[in-house]
Amino acid sequence: MILQKNDQYAVECQTKVSQRCLQNGEYCDSEEDAVLWVEYECWINSGEGWICTTCHEKIMNNLVKKRYQKEAEPKKRDPDDGLNSDLEKGIDTVL
């Protein structure tokens, strides 16, 4: 979602789940510049909006925690339950 204030534009964080969430990106002179700013800052485009990096980190931590809880359950798991047993926090990058 694009916010407008005093002829300035900023992209709003879609989720706002982190306590450290920026809420919205930097205000710029145009909508295109606002989108370029969040892309440069590595915000995630969900297809429905943008997610800031702190909220993305919080979401990924919650997924990892949920996966560990699911693995700790004593019941027998169905191999076709859709859970990835190789789920890890973050994304490996090659530099």
How big is the chain by its Cα radius of gyration, in Å? Answer: 18
Task: Indicate the residue type of 61.
Answer: N
* Average pLDDT value for residue range 4-29: 93
The pTM assigned to this predicted structure is: 0.68
pLDDT at residue number 29: 96
Query: How is residue 45 written in tokens?
Result: 């485009």
**Taking 90 as the threshold, does the pLDDT of residue 8 lie above it?**
yes
Task: Indicate the residue type of 54.
Answer: T
- Of all residues in the chain, the percent with pLDDT exceeding 70 is 77
Q: Distance (Å, rounded) from C-alpha 14 to C-alpha 7? A: 22
Selected residue with higher pLDDT from 56 and 73 = 56
Q: Which residues contact 71 (CB under 8 A, 6 or more apart)?
A: 85
